[in-house]
């Protein structure tokens, strides 16, 4: 089984070909950092236009890399949300057109399901159910992943996502955009104990997250400390919160086969090693995708498409693009926090 995956929900345009037995035959990606950098964040209209220009050549290149044509593909999987709606529509409409033209089934993939199942692409031993910390630019959630399409949300953020906090901190510290990798590099040169920063919600009964107060504390401390010490102290506070909240969730789930992390912030070395230690302390296996599979890419969309296709889940060509699309529709909204 060969699946073509398409991703365009934020500021990465990507196309990939992945097989049902976990071979990544090709993956192409074009970031838009340079286009958005002058604005200090992703500008939706610029992103949508850039996806229009970049997507088709990336798909053509991915097919050429894999020495395949559309006729060799079993299904086309495209991100259908959540994300910036203009960009999502570019990828989804392209996927629909290719599926229609080639007479192939369409799989409309939830971008978060792409992140959530990505660890199963890199690790063939990862079985359901697993406890997933999904930490990305727009989300910070703890989910029990029970199967394809079966997600039980245990916690979410009541304000900012973890990646958003990294990006805002980078902006405050003048480290540029995108912020996560820049903060991690600066943190490596600083003292994580230099700046006293809060750990919002640490110790609270429900395993939810909050990062807005931490970001504000960084803003107040800026100027009194070096950017390196601020970055290191901020990163240590985020790690503390993630570990405390994940520990709380671990006490609530039974039978999880592994502790798993996914999403862009899962590329952070300090986050990965702290979660590894937590898993070890709980006698659990720890699974984290390779760094390139943590941040947005189309291989994870193709893989989620492969998992859905194998389960008989395809979508009609009139399926809608969705700016918001919770993985667990039954989950209670927390104080206005979205998906």
Interaction pattern, residues 7-46, with Mg ion; x per rule: CB under 5 A: ---xxx----------------------------------
Has 180 been labeled as part of a binding site? yes
Nearer to ligand ATP by C-beta: 177 or 225? 177
- Site size for Fe ion (CB under 5 A): 2
Nearer to ligand ATP by C-beta: 184 or 229? 184
- Site size for Mg ion (CB under 5 A): 3
Nearer to Mg ion by C-beta: 37 or 101? 37
Nearer to Fe ion by C-beta: 84 or 173? 84
Interaction pattern, residues 282-311, with Fe ion; x per rule: CB under 5 A: --------------x---------------
- Does position 136 interact with Fe ion (CB under 5 A)? The reply is yes
C-beta atoms surrounding 5 within 10 Å: 33
Q: How far apart are CA 187 and CA 220, in angstroms?
A: 18
Torsion from C-alpha of 167, 48, 111, 337, nearest 10 degrees: 50
83 binds, among ligand ATP, Mg ion, Fe ion, none (CB under 5 to 8 A by kind): ligand ATP
- Closest chain position to Mg ion (CB): 11
- Does position 164 interact with Mg ion (CB under 5 A)? The reply is no
C-beta atoms surrounding 53 within 10 Å: 11
Nearer to ligand ATP by C-beta: 178 or 190? 178
> Which spans of this chain sit near ligand ATP (rule: CB under 6 A)?
9-10, 83, 111, 115, 136-139, 163-164, 166-167, 178-181, 184, 263-265, 267-268, 295-296
163 binds, among Fe ion, ligand ATP, Mg ion, none (CB under 5 to 8 A by kind): ligand ATP
Nearer to ligand ATP by C-beta: 83 or 86? 83
Has 268 been labeled as part of a binding site? yes
Q: How far apart are CA 154 and CA 79, in angstroms?
A: 24
Has 51 been labeled as part of a binding site? no
Has 36 been labeled as part of a binding site? no
Has 111 been labeled as part of a binding site? yes
Interacting residues with Fe ion (CB under 5 A): 136, 296
Binding-site annotation: residue ranges: 111, 115, 134-138, 167, 180, 184, 268, 296
Footprint of Mg ion (CB under 5 A): 10-12
């Amino acid at each position: 089984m060969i699946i073509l995956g398409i991703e365009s929900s934020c500021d990465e345009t990507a196309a990939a070909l992945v097989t049902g037995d976990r071979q990544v035959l090709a993956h192409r990606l074009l970031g838009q950092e340079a286009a958005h950098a002058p604005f200090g964040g992703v500008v939706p209209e610029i992103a949508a236009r850039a996806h229009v220009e970049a997507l088709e050549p990336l798909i053509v290149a991915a097919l050429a890399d894999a020495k395949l044509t559309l006729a060799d593909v079993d299904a086309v999987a495209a991100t259908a949300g959540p994300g910036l709606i203009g960009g999502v529509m570019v990828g989804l409409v392209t996927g629909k057109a290719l599926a229609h033209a080639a007479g192939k089934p369409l799989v409309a993939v939830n971008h978060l399901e792409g992140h959530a199942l990505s660890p199963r692409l890199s690790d063939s031993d990862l079985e359901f159910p697993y406890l997933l910390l999904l930490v990305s630019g727009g989300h910070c959630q703890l989910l029990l992943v029970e199967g394809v399409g079966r997600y039980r949300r245990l916690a979410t953020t009541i304000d900012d996502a973890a990646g958003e906090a990294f990006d805002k901190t980078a902006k405050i510290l003048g480290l540029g955009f995108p912020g996560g990798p820049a903060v991690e590099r600066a943190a490596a040169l600083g003292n994580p104990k230099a700046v006293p920063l809060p750990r919002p919600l640490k110790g609270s009964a429900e395993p939810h997250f909050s990062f807005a107060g931490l970001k504000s504390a960084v803003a107040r401390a800026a100027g009194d400390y070096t950017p390196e010490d601020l970055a290191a102290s901020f990163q240590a506070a985020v790690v503390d919160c993630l570990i405390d909240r994940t520990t709380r969730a671990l006490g609530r789930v039974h039978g999880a086969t592994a502790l798993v992390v996914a999403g862009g912030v899962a590329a952070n070395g300090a986050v990965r090693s702290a979660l590894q230690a937590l898993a070890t302390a709980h006698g659990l296996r720890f699974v984290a995708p390779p760094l390139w599979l943590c941040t947005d890419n189309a291989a994870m969309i193709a893989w989620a498409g492969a998992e859905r296709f194998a389960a008989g889940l395809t979508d009609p060509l009139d399926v809608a693009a969705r700016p918001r699309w919770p993985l667990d529709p039954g989950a209670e909204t927390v104080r206005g926090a979205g998906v």
